[in-house]
Structures are given as C-alpha cells and as structure tokens.
A and B are shown apart, each in its own frame.
Chain A
C-alpha cells in the first residue's frame, strides 16, 4: 500500500473526516517542461503528446443533498435523503448521549450500553437479532462516540419495513439481562486487555487523558479495565432509560420517499415515550486539563517505532472557525502533499506517513498531528513536527496552498457522500451538532470565501504550539536521550503513563541511562 489511508488513525479525530466538495478554480499551470527535454534521448513517435499539459476545463456545481426533516408524533425527528443509489438503503438512529457523558469512575459506560443494545432485543436472543440482520444482508453497527450513541444498518431495497423494525427493536427494546451483561462486560475486559499491547491505542489514550484530565473527555470511549469492572447493569439501564425522543433522531438515505419513510418509522418508533429521567441531570461539562502536561510517554521497550501525537484541545463544532481550520489542516497534515507528510516521509524518510486532523464535537474538540517514526529518529522527528506547526501559525498560507486546500476539501465532500451509509452519518451530524440543513449544499461557496488572512486568524486563535502536548508510545530508554538533545524543544521530563493513559508516577523519573547528559529542562521541569 502506498499510503495508509489515515481514517481510523485516531478515534478522537474520526469525526473530522470532514465532508467537503467540488467546484474548483483550475490551478495555475506551472511552466511545462521545456520541449527540449522531451526531445532528448529515447523518445518515440507520438511521445510529444505528453509534452503538453492537458487543460482542466471548468467544473459544474455539485448539489449536495439537503435532507427533508419531519417529526413523528412523539417528537422524534426524521431526516430523509431521497436519492438514487446502487440499490442500497441506509437507516440510522442517533441520540445525543455519548462517552462525554460517562460518569467519573465509570468510563466506558456509553460504549457498553451500545454493546448491550446488540445483546438481544424484544425477547430475541443476541444470536437471533444478529441472524435477523444477516438475513436481510444488513451490517448492523452500534457504537458510542464522544457525543453520540449511533445505530446504523444498510441493506438492499426493498427492505425498509424489516430495517425499521430491527432498528426499533435494537434501539428501544433491549433485553438487558444479567446473563448477557456478564458476557458483554467480560468481552470488553478482553478487548481492553488486548489493546494494552498496541502502541497506537496507548498513545491515543495517554494523549486524550493529558488533554482532558479527569474530565468527561479524558478517556477513550471504550473505557478502562478498572472502570469497566466497576460498571453495573443498573448503570447501563439508567443510561438507556435517559435516552429520549427529543434528543434523538432517525436518518434514512436511499430510494424511499420521505412520506414512505415517515409512515414506516411512525409505525416503528411513534409509540416510544421516554422511560426515565430527562437527560442532562447534573452532568459534568467537558473541561480541558489546566495546566496540561507537555510531554507524556507510554513505555514500550524494544519497539522499532515511536507512535507520536502532538496537539491540544481545540474548538467545538459550533465555532465559526471550523471551515478555516479544516482548510489549514488540509495543508499542514490532511493530504499526501501536506507539509507534515512531505517533511517526515518524503524529505527525511523518518516515517511511512504523517498526518493531522481536528476533532470537532459538542465539547472542546482537539487538534493532533500524528505519525509513527523509526525509534532512532524520534527526537529529530518531533523537532520537525513542531517546526511545521510553528510555521503554520507564523506564516499565512500561500495562494497556491489555499487553492489546493479548497480543491481537495471540495472533492472530499463528493467522496464522503457517495455511499448511503456515509451520507447517513453526515446527515446525523447535522442533527448532533445543530448544523444548518444546507450545511453540505453551501459547503463549497463558504469554502471559496476563505482568504489566507481569515485562515491565519483562525489558526492563531486555535493553535498554540508552545502549549501543545507531545504523547509518545515507544521505547523510553531509546527516545529520551534524543529528546534531550533537541534542546530547542524545551521539553520537560515526561510524565509516564500506562497503556490506558493513567499517570504512573507524578515525580520526575530517570528512565534507564537516559538522563546522563542533556538539557536541564528535561531533568528539572
């Protein structure tokens, strides 16, 4: 594989796999290679057709879908996109209650509630529900992200009735038996144990905990082993009982009309009434950690690479700066020709790829640059990453970069809205983050209005490299002397964390022979 498609690299950042769209100004053609070069040795008849760079004709507009919104009799909102598809129909249920609402000490609750929704419903066993989904070819997925619990499935039409019935069973009528809870909890503990040996997961966990501390965002949605052991079935029941129609929505994308979807969904969901307390009973507001540790490390002795994350809390999805920041990100780390990837991969050969992304949620969100580098160049790689981030803040984007970023984001929107499943997720974001219904329709025109000055202002508000946190999962003994040698980074000694992100020792460690020489900042800050 030439490039590892960076989608799943950081769960935290997954929701910034941001939709964009087409309608671009053709970039200025750089001067063509001189004809003289083409005429040099080894040319063949007809080859001169290559000497001329092809024209790029103007592009027509892309009319991204605007969902139709209807309301069921119980107040549940229904978002419908009717469109041609490859015979597939997607339906989804989404509620504004995710891992950010996990109580302190019970991290992983929302995600376990999602798992319990797949452990049997409406008197049918876990196996029977899974078999019912398979029978219609549906990929049933239930998951909890930071801000939402989502259920999605897609199948070949005409299966709308069966899909709606299955969706409602899973969303509204989980069995929640003690026996199934024991199985789901034990399986999660197995998964979390497996994750401890994955440096990529450990780096994310340490990074997120460093950014948000003990606040509601300070953990991965899957939770930690200790917290999952503390969670009881009663906690899951309370969580699910507080899911209400007014905080939830149904999404349908495919060939079915809005009227047809409404009638089917009214039958499946219309009788649903809230089962328990209304949501947001004294939940903690998401906070960021102050002061944040600048350097956290999870030790994996003997590993050939260091997993690196550099970033900080950012702005919520509701910020007016979101689009400008997406554009800046496309240039610094959101594309193959981005500054970070060109620097770390192509120029220096430190890495297979280096990327960055924003996570924009209801809470403070995050920015992170991320890569895996050879262990023996970790120090130099960190210096290069900070160098690129500093440059992004210090200098405006060039006109060429601005144009490239707009073109890339514009076509990303086209790609993001190709499948019914991805379109359904994009439409769910409209509900989750209170976006305008024409969010995607107006995307390109809003993008085109951005100037280098607007982008730089947004970047300066959002990104402060001198306050960013570096998280490393790698061989402490090998990398710490390298970081000491990079004196300009002025990094403090690392805060050591376990693979789940928990602080191991608050005091300054002396890791192996690492501290034998080097900067004072490493030892004493």
Chain B
C-alpha cells in the first residue's frame, strides 16, 4: 500500500530538526564538530573513542569498561582526584559509558569551563598511560566489581545479561560476551593490560570531539587546536570485523532466579546500525512493543492479562544488531503461555504487516524522539558524535531520519519476516524453589 497525506506532513518535519555545525579534522586525525547554541549558558564536550568491549582480549572481558573508569584516575597535569574536584568546583559534572562498539566521555557545565574541559581531556589523552599505577587500578577494580553487583547480580533477572551473548553469538565473536564482563576476568586485569590498551586505542585518530552549547565556533576551534593540535599523529588502530553470525534453529536456555514471576527474553539477529533495515527494525519494535497502544502490550498485558510488562527493542550495533522481545509474567502465568501469545502476535505481523496508522505513528514517534534527544546539550552532543561515527563527518540529523522515510507497510512486514525467524535464542527464567522467602513464613 502507498502512503497518503500524513507522510508528506512528516517529511516536512524532519529537516527542521537539524542543528547547525562546524566540522574540522586536525592533522593528527582528531575529528571535531562544533554545534553552537547561544540560548543555554552552558557547554558540553563529548569525546567518543572508537573502542568497546568487542576489542577485548580473551580472558579480559569487561576490560574496556574498567578502562573507562581508569580515565578519571588522574594524569600528569591534572592528577587524581582533580579531574573531578576542579570540574565540580566550577559547577561542571562528567560521566561516561562503554558499549560493545564505543567508549563515550562527556563533561558539561557553565560555558566558562570550556577551556578547562579541553585541557583536562588533552592531558589524559596524552599522559594517562604513563601516570597509571597499580593502586589506581585496584581502586577502580573494586568500584567496577560493585557496579557489576549493583547493576546485574543484585537485580532480578540480571543473570540473563550474562547468559544471552554467548548463546547468541559463536565463540570468539566480538559480541559473544557482555560489556560488563565476568568478575573473574575483571580480577585478572593487569597494569600492563591498561598501558597496552591505552597505547593502542586512545589516540587522536581514533577519537571524535563534539562541542555543543554557548560557544563561538572560531574561538572554540582555536581552543581545540591549542589543546589537541600538538598531540602527535599515531597509527589508526585496526577495527575488528566479524562475519555475520547466523542462527538457523532455536537455542533455548532455562534459568532460575530469586524472583516471584516467570520471564521470557527472545533475541534475533537484525540489520546493523545506520542501515535502512535498522530503521525498519526500529519501527517494527515500536509497533510491536513500545507504548500502551502497541500490539504486545494490547494482547499480553491488556487483553489476555498474561504479562505484567512487555518490552521490544532493536539494539543497534555496528557489526550486527540484535532484536529483543521480552515479557514478565503475571502471577501464576507460565513462561510458555507468554511465548505462545508472543509468537502468535509475531506471526500476525509477519502475515499482515502493520496498519498504515501504526506505521505513521511509529514514524512520528521516531521524529519526536529525535527532537527530545536534541533538547539537552549532553544528549545532543552524544547524538552528533554517534552520527559522525555511523555516517561519516558530513552526517546530519536529517541523514539519520531519512532512513525512516523510505519505510512502508510492505518493508516493515518484510523485515518482520527476515528478522523474526526460527533461528533465535529464547531465555526462560523461573523462580527458584521457594525456600528463600523465609521471612514470610516465620
């Protein structure tokens, strides 16, 4: 079916979301984007290093994220703990995250901190390795092991995060272990590992810098040159590649946890980041499971009352993405009843495709979501940095959103058939036998 009037209206919305930027690349390979916005008296800098958990060695899972923590442990001119104390003294704050593909650092604060931010980033990019010590490593090893406990081990169903990657990807594939890594591997990391990882991956040619906020582009660029221009050119690290993983049959895992309700998580391979197929999967995920009008919410939560909550997501990644469907049961509902209802809805989507209204709503939600992402300086800068990594230096928000304009009811249905096939991982989680709740029986 062909799209009627609503699309033309939406087409006109996408371009208005673009933000003006200035691009540059320093001789040492550092890519720079400056996105001025004089309406907010603040500035953020976002530094993206193209290294993630996929670049870890065997026996060192979780290392890229551990390294991220070590980046705050002080360098030659801004020794520990001044990265944080100087920044917060001026009203600025920072954070960072590590994914399978990237490690991303940001600082945000009043606009008079721009030069301070650049100074601190330059210092640690140049000297962190030389200033690293065993003591710093031990401090953050403890913190990261506690992060692992807090975010995975002490969270209901958290063990699914450990179990899924190796079930989905073949042994040795760069996505076959979780970003957080294993506690054993985290304990094994050495000072030498830290120095080698830093020397390989933390080089200007493997980084891109976005400055967003209350800045004058020429002045900001001059400061970038001042603090990053003298850094020597270093070899561009070779990025990992892997053949597309495939599953032809279903892999089933059965776990138990200290929980009261059953849960099912399903995962399929899907098109990689930045492709039209990736955009179709976003739309498919939205129609299937995002929001209270979505098909799985309507069927499992509202109509049949089998599930307490459902969740569907296209988890976009550089080499190959993963499409997730999960549902948490109602009390007394077995995981197989959830699966049956989910599979029926997936089959209906594969047969009938989405309605025109569903597709248009999903597309509108994508555009509105992009607008929300542009609202705050921190998320805007991160978005722009991700865009340049995915599409190259001239990428715009529009080039990202353009991918959604080509989607039709037919392409979304086709994507459902391509992605949601028999080859998948299904994780069933059931409650452990009920001795645990001693407090209730006493």
Contacts and interface: CB of A to CB of B under 8 A. Distances in A.
B110 A33 contact: no
Contact of B230 (A37, A49, A133): A49
B272 interface: no
A303 B155 CA distance: 10
Nearest to A62: B41
Given A190-B331, A299-B438, A400-B89, A349 B154 contact: no
Interface string A22-45: 101011001001000110001011
Given A137-B368, A302-B436, A349 B91 contact: no
A435 interface: no
Most buried by B among A197, A302, A419, A509: A197
Given A59-B111, A411-B109, A418 B40 contact: yes
A475 to B, nearest CB: 11
B56 to A, nearest CB: 17
Contacts of A62: 41
B93 A372 contact: no
Contacts of B77: 33, 38, 50-51
Contacts of B249: none
Interface stretch (A82-90, A276-284, A485-493): A82-90
A421 B369 CA distance: 13
Interface in B259-286: 259-261
Contact of A191 (B95, B96, B153, B308): B308
Interface residues of A, number: 103
A160 to B, nearest CB: 15
Nearest to B333: A190
Contacts of A1: 95-98, 147, 151
A59 B112 contact: yes
B113 interface: yes
Contacts of B371: 86-88, 156
A301 interface: yes
B154 A303 contact: yes
Contact of B151 (A4, A133, A374): A4
B69 A2 contact: yes
Contacts of B123: 50
B292 A130 contact: yes
Contact of A134 (B68, B84, B155, B293): B293
B258 A300 contact: yes
A505 B372 CA distance: 49
Given A49-B227, A88-B368, A187-B301, A374 B76 contact: no
B97 A2 contact: yes
Given A50-B123, A404-B88, A498-B440, A194 B328 contact: yes
A234 interface: no
Interface string B365-376: 101110110111
A336 interface: yes
Given A24-B91, A44-B230, 20 more contacts: A2-B72, A26-B112, A50-B122, A87-B371, A126-B292, A130-B291, A137-B367, A137-B368, A186-B330, A191-B308, A194-B260, A196-B260, A303-B258, A304-B149, A305-B149, A351-B150, A352-B149, A415-B42, A419-B375, A509-B442
Interface of B: 13, 16-17, 39-42, 68-69, 72, 76-77, 79, 81-82, 84-86, 88-98, 108-113, 115-116, 118-119, 122-123, 126-127, 130, 138-139, 142-143, 146-147, 149-151, 153-156, 226-227, 229-230, 232, 258-261, 291-293, 298, 301-302, 305, 307-309, 328-331, 357, 360-362, 364-365, 367-369, 371-372, 374-377, 436, 438-440, 442
Interface of A: 1-5, 22, 24, 26-27, 30, 33, 37-38, 42, 44-47, 49-51, 53-62, 84-88, 118, 126-127, 130-131, 133-139, 154-156, 183, 186-187, 189-191, 193-194, 196-199, 298-305, 307, 335-337, 342, 345-346, 349-352, 372-374, 400, 403-404, 407-408, 410-411, 414-415, 418-421, 496, 498, 504-505, 509
